[in-house]
């Protein structure tokens, strides 16, 4: 194992050095990046053999938590290819990777926000023309990735969690083009998980292609089905780090990710183009070329996903494998996902930094958004908007905010949000969505629960979310509030509070928020739980004053849920469907509108039909403990 101990000084020197034009670093491939990471003490090598079945994944998760360097494993069981993890494991390292192209890209974004600023401060946009020129891919006849061929079963077979259904690609760049309008401008690159092996698939001939709803590949697949044609698919692994970032970038529909990849890379992305074939990323480490034929599906999964639960096996498109290419010295980059935070948290934060100022240009009236990582990203979206529709009203109420919420649910990746909680900027110009305690307090103080909850039922939801009434189907909530405070929030339990049988351990989690423990959930999917109606009725008839406690959350384990904000957010919003799992004291429905006169209740228990939560294998944990202990090859790193 090699470990550069003086990394911090080297890193500071590297980041603070002013380069001339010839020394600007733009990583063309994974090899250049890993070499630079090693030189600056941001990468260690492990030469001891590691197992891609569970062991290497647990090492990666610990490396992320430890803010460790990237780790290159040179001997991986069952494959001739080395694997590397934690490349994007810290926000500082991710910024450093793109250090010489970020300014130009930010200049392009800034131009969109205020084009006249170009004339005011032209020196800030010195790199913008190059960034714009870099967006267009460069066609080449061949590339390093074409040097060799291999088979699927020789690729690293990463199993991240004990119930995973096979080996997976976890940092893929899945490339497709529109059958109706082929070419780069209508292409899509997405990080859709790819199952390499499993009982459903013929070894080396078939892989599973899992893509969620509202993804660009879905539109291409629909076009191919309409035309009665197979859809060509290329899966790139490795290559320029900008392409990995492009694959997860939530771009507006109609903007090809490869264009963003070029702008972030700082150079035109070379793509191997051959007549009748789908383009191949020339500098990729690997490329799996295949086709998805009409009507061909097979069970894909289970897979431990980024919500912290397993995605169970469901039928997804089958990809027939044509060829597997790899470059000389190919390295297989990987990550694992699970209950946040994980390495993909860094991706989200980095993207937020890049795009925060663009939010008002995409969503009219919206000033700030925050897809909450602790809640699994899509389950909870916080937003701050404007409320200007009736400025002269004696009592301001949400109107423009509802329009903003509907806009968020109708555009880009925010459309997958389940709970959209939106506040008015005018009520507190200093309020921000990244301080959840302050944000929730602001909302609870101002919400009229008879008026301000707006449900969308039996609609599409995130494929990975099992709280709904079926796969891809559930409900959404726009919770909008504005105006003066309506209540003060209590931070102690009232002395006279009682609970019905089966409920216990109430405690104040935050001002106005009570967490309590409920009985085990037994109701069927798409049904209310009568035990929750019992609780709502009991609270309605409560002798204790609950006017300052507007939110009750029912969990399986009140101690765990109330231990910290991470637990509270994860339990509350990954285990509840708004329409099915929200109840209220004094609840009513008037002309299809639901509200309540007393506290709102969120049923955040694990449901009888939910997918199981992720847990590590104790034997693997003990094995990795030894590697991290004194004398182990990862001592001082994990």
Is the CB of residue 575 less than 8 Å from the CB of residue 610?
yes
* 622 class by beta-carbon count within 10 Å (0-12 exposed, 13-18 middle, 19+ buried): exposed
Is residue 19 pLDDT above 60, yes or no? no
The values of phi and psi at residue 624, to 5°, are -70, -30
Express each pLDDT in 490-545 by its tens digit. Answer: 999 999 899 999 999 999 999 999 999 999 999 999 999 999 999 999 999 998 89
Task: Give the Cα separation of 147 and 284 in Å (integer).
Answer: 11
Task: Give the Cα separation of 419 and 422 in Å (integer).
Answer: 10
Provide DSSP, 278-315: --EETT-SEEEEEEEEEEEEEEE--EE-TTSBEEPPEE
Percent of the chain with pLDDT over 90: 80
Q: In this structure, which topology does domain 7-334 adopt according to CATH?
A: Pnp Oxidase; Chain A (2.30.110)
Place of tokens 């509070």: 497
According to DSSP, residue 66 is labeled T
- What's the pLDDT band for 17 if we cut at 50, 70, 90? very low
Q: Look at residue 407 and give its three-state secondary structure.
A: helix
Place of tokens 């090492």: 59
Task: Give the Cα separation of 552 and 538 in Å (integer).
Answer: 13
Q: CA torsion angle for 462, 468, 472, 477 (degrees, to 10)?
A: -50
Which one is predicted more confidently, 117 or 348?
348
Stretch (H or E) spanning 138: strand 138-140
Position 412 scores a pLDDT of: 76
| Closest C-alpha to 270, from 260, 281, 259 | 281
Strands 310-311 and 303-304: antiparallel
Task: Give the Cα separation of 280 and 265 in Å (integer).
Answer: 17
Cis bond before residue 138 (omega within 30° of 0): no
Position 454 scores a pLDDT of: 98
Is residue 15 pLDDT above 70, yes or no? no
Q: In this structure, which topology does domain 504-603 adopt according to CATH?
A: UbiD C-terminal domain-like (3.40.1670)
Task: Give the Cα separation of 123 and 107 in Å (integer).
Answer: 10
Position 123 scores a pLDDT of: 65
Place of tokens 């897809």: 371
Listed in order, the ranges of the chain carrying CATH 3.40.1670.10 are 343-481
Position 23 scores a pLDDT of: 61
Position 6 scores a pLDDT of: 31
Give the Å distances, CA to CA, from 320 to 27, 155, 280, 294, 388: 32, 16, 17, 11, 54
Strands 270-272 and 280-281: antiparallel
| Candidate ranges 45-59, 131-145, 349-363; pick with highest mean pLDDT | 45-59
Q: Token digits for 238?
A: 């490795």
Question: CB within 8 A of 139, min separation 6: which ones?
Answer: 270, 271, 273, 279
Pick the CATH number of 343-481 from 3.90.190.20, 3.40.50.300, 3.30.360.10, 3.40.1670.10: 3.40.1670.10
The structure's pTM equals 0.91
Task: Give the Cα separation of 605 and 532 in Å (integer).
Answer: 11
Is residue 4 pLDDT above 80, yes or no? no
């Amino acid at each position: 194992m090699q470990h550069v101990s003086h990394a911090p000084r080297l890193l500071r020197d590297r980041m603070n050095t002013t380069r001339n034009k010839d020394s600007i670093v733009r990583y063309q491939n994974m090899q250049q990046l890993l070499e630079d990471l090693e030189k600056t003490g941001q990468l260690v090598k492990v030469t001891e053999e590691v197992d891609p079945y569970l062991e290497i994944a647990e090492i990666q998760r610990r490396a992320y938590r430890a803010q460790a360097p990237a780790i290159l494993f040179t001997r991986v069981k069952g494959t001739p290819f080395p694997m590397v993890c934690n490349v994007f494991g810290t926000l500082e390292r991710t910024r450093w990777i793109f250090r010489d192209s970020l300014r130009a890209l930010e200049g392009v974004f800034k131009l969109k926000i205020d084009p006249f600023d170009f004339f005011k401060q032209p020196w800030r946009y010195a790199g913008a023309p190059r960034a714009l020129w870099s967006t267009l891919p460069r066609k080449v006849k061949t590339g390093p990735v074409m040097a060799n061929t291999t088979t699927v079963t020789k690729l690293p077979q990463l199993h991240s969690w004990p119930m995973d259904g096979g080996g997976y690609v976890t940092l893929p760049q899945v490339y497709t083009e529109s059958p109706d309008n082929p070419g780069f401008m209508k292409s899509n690159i997405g990080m859709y998980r790819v199952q390499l092996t499993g009982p459903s698939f013929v070894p080396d001939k078939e892989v599973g292609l899992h893509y969620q709803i509202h993804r660009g590949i879905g539109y291409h697949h629909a076009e191919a089905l309409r035309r009665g044609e197979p859809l060509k698919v290329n899966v790139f692994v490795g290559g320029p780090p900008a392409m990995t970032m492009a694959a997860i970038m939530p771009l507006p529909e109609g903007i090809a990710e490869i264009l963003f990849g070029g702008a972030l890379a700082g150079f035109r992305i070379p793509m191997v183009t051959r007549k009748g074939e789908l383009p191949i990323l020339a500098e990729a480490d690997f490329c799996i070329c295949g086709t998805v034929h009409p009507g061909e599906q097979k069970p894909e999964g289970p897979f431990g996903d980024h919500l912290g639960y397993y995605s169970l096996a469901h039928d997804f498109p089958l990809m027939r494998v044509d060829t597997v290419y790899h470059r000389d010295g190919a390295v297989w980059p990987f990550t694992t996902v699970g209950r946040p935070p994980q390495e993909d948290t860094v991706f989200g934060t980095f993207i937020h930094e890049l795009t925060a100022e663009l939010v008002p240009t995409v969503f009219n009236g919206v000033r700030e958004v925050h897809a909450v990582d602790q809640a699994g990203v899509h389950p909870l979206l916080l937003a701050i908007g404007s409320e200007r529709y009736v400025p002269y009203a004696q009592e301001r109420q949400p109107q423009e905010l509802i329009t903003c919420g509907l806009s968020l649910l109708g555009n880009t990746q925010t459309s997958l949000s389940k709970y959209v909680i939106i506040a008015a900027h005018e009520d507190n110009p200093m309020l921000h969505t990244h301080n959840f305690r302050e944000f929730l307090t602001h909302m609870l103080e101002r919400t009229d629960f008879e008026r301000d909850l707006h449900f969308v039922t039996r609609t599409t939801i995130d494929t990975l979310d099992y709280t709904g009434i079926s796969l891809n189907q559930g409900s959404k909530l726009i919770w909008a509030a504005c105006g003066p405070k309506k209540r003060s929030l209590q931070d102690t339990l009232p002395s006279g509070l009682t609970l019905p049988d089966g409920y216990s351990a109430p405690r104040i989690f935050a001002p106005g928020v009570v967490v309590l423990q409920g009985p085990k959930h037994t109701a069927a999917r798409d049904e209310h739980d009568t035990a929750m109606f019992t609780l709502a009725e009991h609270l309605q008839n409560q002798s204790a004053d609950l006017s300052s406690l507007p939110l009750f959350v029912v969990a399986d384990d009140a101690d765990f849920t109330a231990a910290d904000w991470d637990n509270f957010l994860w339990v509350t919003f990954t285990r509840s469907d708004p329409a099915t799992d929200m109840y209220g004291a004094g609840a009513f429905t008037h002309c299809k509108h639901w509200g309540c006169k007393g506290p709102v209740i969120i049923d955040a228990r694990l449901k009888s039909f939910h997918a199981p939560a992720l847990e590590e294998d104790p034997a693997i944990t003990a094995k990795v403990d030894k590697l991290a202990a004194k004398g182990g090859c990862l001592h001082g790193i994990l």
